[in-house]
Structure 1
Amino acid sequence: MLLHSIRVRDLAGLGDVCIEGLEPGLTVLVGDNEAGKSTILTALRAALFHRHGSGSRFVKNLAPYGRQVRPEIDLEFELGQTRYRLEKRFLQKPEARLVWPGGELIGDAVEDRLAELFGFSPYSGRGEFDHERHQGAFGLLWVEQGRAPEGIDIGVGRDAVLSSLEAEVGQILGGERGRGLLGAAKALRDRHFTDGGQLRRNGELRAAEDELAALDADIAEQKAAKATLDSRIDRLADRRARLSALRRDHVIEAAERDLAKAESADRAREDARRDLTEVEQALALAAAAVEKAAADLKRRQELAEALAEAERAAAMARETSAEAAEAAATLEAGREALRTARETAEREMRRLEQHQRAQEGQRERARLQERLARLRATVEAAREAAGRAAEARRLLASALDEKGLRAILSAEAERREAAARRDGAAPSVIFHPEPGRTVRAGAAGMVETARPLRVARDTLFHLDGFGRVEIRPDTGSQEREAAYETAARALRDRLSAAGLDSVDAAHEARARASEWEAGLREASARVKALAPAGVEALASEISALEQALAAIPSSAEGPAAADVWAELERARAGFTAADAALQRRTSDIQLARAEASHAAERHEGAAAEAARLADLLARSEAQNASAALRERLAAAEVSRQAQAVLAETRRAAYQMLDPEVISLELRRARGALANLRRDVAQVENEVRELETELRITGAQGLGEAIERMEGERSSLAERVARLRLEADAARLLYETLGRAEARLREKWFAPIRAEVAPYLRLVHPEAEIAFDEETLRVTGVTRRGVPEEFHRLSHGAREQVAVVTRLALAQVLRKGGHPATVILDDALVNTDEARLARMHLVLQKAAEHLQIIVLTCRERDFRGLGAPLIRL
């Protein structure tokens, strides 16, 4: 296949794009990111492999986002010796038209003809579009952006590769017939086994074996059921015999008689216990009466003792109160003299403190005057620094800043790059005139000879004595010259806006601005150091100091400073001592007065308590005399002793009945009767359940069912043996044919390796590629005898191996008469510069026989490829 032109209209992000002049060999389509390079590949896929009337997600995504338009794609391509024109319209009024010399198809017939021409399975529009299955060999040869490192999956293109290889090296196992035989053997094996050699779950042999196993399980289950039935018949006979024995021995009636006897003994025990409880309660009441009488007599004695103690305490408190009042009066008599001494010492101390404050005022005045002088000098220096900073700001207001310099340098760099592109692509001319001859270039005047001259635009040279020579560079040169003029004009505009005439002047202006910035920083730092809060704050502080100086008197009279300090210290010491003496005397008086008051209060309280206790004792005696209380205690003790004797008699009678034995006998009789009744009921229930179950199970005919199932098992076992023999034979046949194919496959792969070798040698010398024998997928690379798995190679190495292998397979397909155009969409983005240069050689070599189209956004990487560049 040879592509000649591609035209796209209203497809995805593209408007109207036409790419013409595609020739055999190598072509590079260049475009910026988002310019639509990958969309071109999408357009090719849509035109060749998607039905025009499809409503698949892929086709719906062909329309630009948010627009109701009809994407259009026109292709011109050559296949064999026939040139075709394909037109497709999608979504809105879909159409398809295929035209070639002497023929034309429209509608669905176009899709069928394309599938026939390119050997792919038509895409129904349901499910995901499979690049390998629905594109035939082009799923192998058209590489989407970012998919090169994934390796190669030939997919449906495998048939085209196989037929191409067989055309070159001969058929393996009889060619198509041999592959059919191998496929038939595989189909027979696959009826019973998986690729891993395990029995297939849904296979006939596995189903028969499962059925045999299930039948064996059923037979075992039926035999187990029969054994269970026999054991239950024996159990029923045993339970009936046991029930007859229980009824014959009248065990329940005997247990009921034992229980009645035990209950009668328990009632006699309960009557004796109630009699004992009543006597014990009477004894407890008598003991409580004794305790109450004893407590009443004890409280009367304690009250008399408390009254005697209260009277003694009142007498002692009266004596203490009198002594405290006398001591307070004595201390009060000497306090007045101490108060007079303190007042005299205080007057002297105040007089000396006044002299001291006057002297301190003179010292403060001197300190303020010194501080005022320093502040005035600081203000002057700060104002000078602020003036320098203001001048620096004024100069910087119109100076060139760093951003402006960067803009100028960027414009200069763009101008130099544009000049390099212009001069690098422009042809070089060297004039060697005869002696005395000259060369002129239009209005530019004389041309220097014997030196290379770059010609970037159409130029007319006048050759003295010969004529004129007109040199016209390619159309790209004019574009490069225009780009250079644009860059140069942008640089001039940048310089003019800054008031400069050259880049050197910009550097000098920026250097001066840097000096002004340094001066500004220095002056600002000095202002901040001298006046952190500002010059006005310093001025305010000076004004405050001047006011403070005016408030301090200019002189003060009095004794010398040293005398004042000494006398003041002595006066303060005298005052402190007098004050301390007065405070101590005052404190002592307060303590004495407080003690006298407390003593009087204690006397009053003790006298009141003694009076209260005397009154309480008199009233208690009036109600119950002490003699009466003693008589009541004696009578209560006699009653308690009588109840104690009676209680002991009743307790002995109760113990003679042996109450614990009676309780145990009652519990035993009740338990025995309950257990017997429960056992009889349980045996009766078990007999009923066994009889019912045996009636149901006995009707199933388990013996006859087991005999019938064993007959079925014999037939099924014979069928399983027959299927096992058939499965083993199929597996043996397939494995035998597979080993034969494997022995010949090495020879069969020789053409692929032969095509890969010259390309691979240019990129990875001494390397070999390993293929999977079934899928033809690249599995690894052997370099210098060391094997490496494909997925463990670097991204760059995987890209290179994948591209080289695709080119080799394209050569195989081409020789087999199949379409073999290769399209690479940014397929070498991870390749370093050295390997990229080698890959350029690979592409040039492959382009001798193949049409290769490279889509890229990195024009710089392919300038040296030596191939036509078409810009989108």
Structure 2
Amino acid sequence: MKLHRLVLTNFRGVAHRDIEFPDSGVVVISGANEIGKSSMIEALDLLLTVKDRSTKKEVKSVKPTHADVGAEVLAEISTGPYRFVYRKRFHKRAETELTLLAPTRAQLTGDEAHDRVLAILSETVDTALWEAQRVLQSSATAPVDLSGCDALSRALDVAAGSSDGAAGDADPLLVDRIEAEYLTYFTATGRPTGAWAAATARLRAAYDEVARSAAAVADVEQAVLRHAALTTQLAAATERVEATEERVSAARQAAAAVAELTRERDTARVLADAATATHTASSAAVNERRRLRAAIDERSRSAAELIAVAAESAQTHAAAQQAAEAAEAAAEQARAVADAAAVAVDAARTDLAHLVARDEADRITSQLVKLDVARAELAEIDRELFGNTMSDALMAEIEVAARAVQRAADQAELASARVELVALADTRVQVGERTVELRAGQDWTAVLGTPTDIELPGVLRARVVPGADAAETHAALTAAGEVLADAVRRAGVQSVEEARAKDARRRDLQSAQHRLQATVAALTGDETVDQLRARHAELIAGQPDIAGNTETARAALMTARAAHRVATERADAQRASAAAAVTACHEAAVTAGVLREKLGTAQAELQAATERLATERRAATDDQLALAAEADAEKVARSGAEVIRLDAELAAAQPETVAAELDAATRVLREAVREREATATALTELTATLKLYGTQGRKGTLDAAHTEREHAHGEYLRIERRARAAQTLRTVLLRHRESARRRYVEPFRGEIERLGRIVFGADFEVDIGTDLTIRSRTLDGRTVGYESLSGGAKEQIGIVARLACASLVAKEDTVPVVIDDALGFTDPDRLTRMSAVFDSVGGDGQVIVLTCSPDRYAGIADARLIELTA
């Protein structure tokens, strides 16, 4: 598989990019960070694997954010006998187009084109190898996984020369038949399946059925034993019920006697309580008569006192009313003074606003002058920058070309012939097209990279012919010089130094441009120049002619505010005084009214109490009430003595003991009856269960289960022998195949060590597992596991392994090796050696390097450089 061309349009941040790749060799694609180098790999994967209408997050993430358009990817690819141009547009107006160029021309669209490309890739490309031959930024140090690469396996089989008829080269049909036989009895993970699993399940079910049937027979035997136990338990429960019923009868008779005594005692208590209530009422009547006489005397004294207090309260209310009227008049006068001070504050504030507007207009005038000067300087710099054709990319190209010329010159000097002439007398020497004048004793030296004639006119002619290496290095120097001259010419200068001076001037102009742009931005702020001019015109329009300045106006405003504040405080104080006087007047009025109401109430209560005492004395005199109270006290004493006698008789009968005995006997009887009924119910249910067991034939079922178990065990043994035999045969075959794998790992290890020794030295060795993964590295006699190596060493070994794979696989199986911004952990010496590895691989394959630092790969002699621009 080879990638000839890749075109991206509106793909993530890439507006348009069209790159053509050489059919073989190393191509270095360089560009700044986030310019979209990794997006090229992602675009190729989406083109080859995802339909144009897909809604996967991988497709959504590449939709451009700067325009409402669909992302497009086009690639020209050749693989096997096919060569085709394949294009897809995602997101908006999705479409797929395929143009087959070879072996026969054809055009397809939509899903038909997608399916056709998948079929071509499935037929001609080892997709596992295509995935493995990538060194991505996210997995540069991860071990290379080549275990599933069929193309590499075929190449290693050929390189190992496996033809001795070992088990590892067994007939694939035989291997498939053994595997099929194994899968008849086992899954791919080694678990039983098919007939083997069925026989195992049948045997397990037979054992379960025997256990279940035996348990059922045991249940019958257990039920017979429980029936006999329940019959004995029912007879004992019946005897306990009869004995407990006699105990309950005796306890009930004793309880009836106690209840009779309790009723008599309760009746005596009722009579005693009635006598006590009557005595309490007669005593209360006597006490109430005394209290009523005392209350009449107290109310007479209170009424006399209230008359004097009410007269004094009326005088206080009149004085408070006069004070309130005077305070209201003073508050009104203070409010008028405060209003006049507020008018003065508003006038001072208006004058200050006009003066502030005048100062703001003056400030904007100065700001506009500075803006005009800065914009004029910025326009001059923009004009000069427009005429400066130098760019960062062109300067970088000149620097790279200059370094290439220097390297070529150094190599040419080392490889060229060196001629030294010493004049024994004054003479003239013709060196090629050049005439050299030499005085006696003077020496002259030259380095010659091409065949050159040296002639002493009329005396001697010599021809200096450098070796082939000198000619090559001289040609390389000439070519590098031409590249440098072309770059200098495109920059519009005569030399590298002039280009550097022109680039320095461009950078100075850009710096001044940024400074002036920042000045303009700072002067304008969030406004434009037109907005500033409009605001200036608005500020000066209709501005009144006011004398003074803002400081004087602020002082006048502060003075007016202070006077207003003093007047307001005085008005507030007067209002508070007036409010307090009004409140005092209201409180005096309320107090006078309350005293008047209290006096009326006291006089009414005194009259009512006097009338009530006269009414009660007409019904019963004070002496009659005293005699009735004494008679009621004697009745209380007689009824209390009767209650004490009955309490003594009831205590002697021990009512708590009698009640406890009755409760205990009743509870025992209840439990005995419940136990008898539960036992009788359980016996009835068990009898019915035994009748049901007798109709189920559980013993016959147990015998049948034993017979099924014997048959299942026999079948299990028969199938087990066949399954174990298939398992053993497969194990032996796999062991021999593993041995054969170890044998063809050697060519892969040899190629890795050949390339790795260019980088790490002559004692470089690796240990390769049968899954073609690198397990350890040996250097200077010390072996280190792969995971313990440094990030740089892992990255270098990973690239070496992929290049080794590329050199081993057959020409028709090759895929591009893609290296995305790798060798960032590599020191300069190893970078030079890695360049030699790239040079040594060669071949018909493609190696695509994506990097933001092209100097890392400058040592690759035959590499083609493609520089990306935004």
Q: Into which bin does the TM-score normalised by the smaller protein fall?
A: 0.5 to 0.7
Pick closer, same or farther for the CA change 1:67–1:787 going to 2, 3 Å: same
1:183-211, CA deviations, whole angstroms, 9 ceiling, x for partnerless residues?
76666666666788xx6154654554444
State the superposition RMSD in angstroms.
6.5
Is residue 170 of structure 2 the alignment partner of residue 177 of structure 1? yes
For 1:852, the equivalent position in structure 2 comes to 847
Conserved 8 A contact 2:768-2:775: yes
Offset of residue 656 of structure 1: 5.6
Pick closer, same or farther for the CA change 1:779–1:281 going to 2, 3 Å: farther
Pick closer, same or farther for the CA change 1:785–1:759 going to 2, 3 Å: same
| Aligned pair partner of 1:813 in 809, 812, 816 | 809
| Aligned pair partner of 1:841 in 823, 826, 836 | 836
Which residues of 2 match residues 20-419 of structure 1 at below 5 A? 22-30=22-30, 73-75=75-77, 85-86=83-84, 97=100, 99=102, 121=122, 135=127, 137-141=129-133, 146=138, 148-154=140-146, 156-158=148-150, 160-170=152-162, 173-177=166-170, 200=191, 202=193, 205=196, 207-243=198-234, 263=252, 266-297=255-286, 398=373, 418-419=394-395
Offset of residue 7 of structure 1: 7.0
Offset of residue 826 of structure 1: 1.8
Q: Distance in 2 between matches of 1:89 and 1:417?
A: 31
Q: Distance in 1 between matches of 2:291 and 2:744?
A: 131
Which residues of 2 match residues 396-545 of structure 1 at below 5 A? 398=373, 418-419=394-395, 421-422=397-398, 425=401, 434=434, 478=486, 481-483=489-491, 536-538=549-551
**Matched length:** 669
Please identify the structure whose Cα radius of gyration is greater: 1
Pick closer, same or farther for the CA change 1:70–1:277 going to 2, 3 Å: closer
Pick closer, same or farther for the CA change 1:138–1:246 going to 2, 3 Å: closer
For 2:695, the equivalent position in structure 1 comes to 699
Offset of residue 862 of structure 1: 3.8
Is residue 818 of structure 2 the alignment partner of residue 824 of structure 1? yes
Conserved 8 A contact 2:764-2:777: yes
For 1:524, the equivalent position in structure 2 comes to none
Which residues of 2 match residues 518-667 of structure 1 at below 5 A? 536-538=549-551, 625-655=621-651, 658-667=654-663
Conserved 8 A contact 2:75-2:85: yes
Q: Which amino acid in 1 is paired with 2:797?
A: V
Pick closer, same or farther for the CA change 1:477–1:260 going to 2, 3 Å: farther
Pick closer, same or farther for the CA change 1:76–1:187 going to 2, 3 Å: closer
Conserved 8 A contact 2:836-2:859: no
1:657-678, CA deviations, whole angstroms, 9 ceiling, x for partnerless residues?
5534543454345434433442
Q: Distance in 2 between matches of 1:428 and 1:200?
A: 69
Q: Which amino acid in 2 is paired with 1:177?
A: A
What TM-score, normalized to structure 2? 0.58
Conserved 8 A contact 2:745-2:772: no
Q: Distance in 2 between matches of 1:870 and 1:545?
A: 75
Pick closer, same or farther for the CA change 1:425–1:664 going to 2, 3 Å: closer
Q: Distance in 2 between matches of 1:708 and 1:855?
A: 77
Conserved 8 A contact 1:98-1:110: no
Q: Which amino acid in 2 is paired with 1:398?
A: V
**Aligned sequence identity (%):** 22
SS of the aligned residue for 1:828 comes to coil
SS of the aligned residue for 1:200 comes to coil
For 1:19, the equivalent position in structure 2 comes to 20
Q: Distance in 2 between matches of 1:9 and 1:621?
A: 126
Gaps of 5+ in 2: 89-93, 310-361, 410-430, 438-445, 448-477, 523-546, 561-601
Q: Distance in 2 between matches of 1:471 and 1:163?
A: 40
Q: Which amino acid in 2 is paired with 1:748?
A: Y
| Aligned pair partner of 2:674 in 674, 678, 681 | 678
Q: Distance in 2 between matches of 1:614 and 1:416?
A: 123
389-398 or 155-164: which moved more?
389-398
Pick closer, same or farther for the CA change 1:27–1:546 going to 2, 3 Å: closer
Pick closer, same or farther for the CA change 1:270–1:762 going to 2, 3 Å: same
Offset of residue 843 of structure 1: 1.1
Q: Which amino acid in 1 is paired with 2:490?
A: A
Q: Which amino acid in 2 is paired with 1:642?
A: R
Pick closer, same or farther for the CA change 1:783–1:820 going to 2, 3 Å: same
Pick closer, same or farther for the CA change 1:194–1:480 going to 2, 3 Å: farther
Offset of residue 802 of structure 1: 2.0
Q: Which amino acid in 1 is paired with 2:170?
A: R
Offset of residue 807 of structure 1: 0.9
For 2:535, the equivalent position in structure 1 comes to none
1:248-300, CA deviations, whole angstroms, 9 ceiling, x for partnerless residues?
x6x76776676566556545543442332121011012123334444555566
Conserved 8 A contact 2:49-2:118: no
Pick closer, same or farther for the CA change 1:691–1:541 going to 2, 3 Å: closer
Q: Distance in 2 between matches of 1:215 and 1:806?
A: 58
Q: Distance in 1 between matches of 2:54 and 2:16?
A: 22
Conserved 8 A contact 2:823-2:831: no
What TM-score, normalized to structure 1? 0.58
Q: Which amino acid in 1 is paired with 2:489?
A: E
SS of the aligned residue for 1:749 comes to helix
Pick closer, same or farther for the CA change 1:417–1:493 going to 2, 3 Å: closer
179-188 or 722-731: which moved more?
179-188
Pick closer, same or farther for the CA change 1:751–1:236 going to 2, 3 Å: same
1:150-202, CA deviations, whole angstroms, 9 ceiling, x for partnerless residues?
44333542364245334434358344317776776666666666788xx6154
Pick closer, same or farther for the CA change 1:787–1:843 going to 2, 3 Å: same
Conserved 8 A contact 1:408-1:494: no
SS of the aligned residue for 1:865 comes to coil
Offset of residue 140 of structure 1: 3.2
Offset of residue 806 of structure 1: 0.9
SS of the aligned residue for 1:233 comes to helix
Which residues of 2 match residues 737-816 of structure 1 at below 5 A? 746-765=742-761, 768-773=765-770, 775-781=771-777, 790=786, 796-814=792-810
Conserved 8 A contact 2:128-2:148: yes
Pick closer, same or farther for the CA change 1:648–1:409 going to 2, 3 Å: farther
Q: Distance in 2 between matches of 1:156 and 1:677?
A: 84
Conserved 8 A contact 1:14-1:36: no
Offset of residue 846 of structure 1: 1.3
Offset of residue 96 of structure 1: 5.7
Pick closer, same or farther for the CA change 1:675–1:109 going to 2, 3 Å: closer
Q: Distance in 2 between matches of 1:637 and 1:651?
A: 22
Offset of residue 17 of structure 1: 4.3
Pick closer, same or farther for the CA change 1:781–1:307 going to 2, 3 Å: same
SS of the aligned residue for 2:808 comes to helix
Pick closer, same or farther for the CA change 1:717–1:783 going to 2, 3 Å: farther
419-428 or 826-835: which moved more?
419-428
SS of the aligned residue for 2:102 comes to strand
SS of the aligned residue for 1:854 comes to strand
SS of the aligned residue for 1:853 comes to strand
416-425 or 8-17: which moved more?
8-17
Pick closer, same or farther for the CA change 1:406–1:641 going to 2, 3 Å: farther
Offset of residue 753 of structure 1: 1.5
Q: Distance in 1 between matches of 2:683 and 2:729?
A: 65
Q: Distance in 2 between matches of 1:395 and 1:44?
A: 54
Pick closer, same or farther for the CA change 1:669–1:314 going to 2, 3 Å: closer
Pick closer, same or farther for the CA change 1:421–1:296 going to 2, 3 Å: same
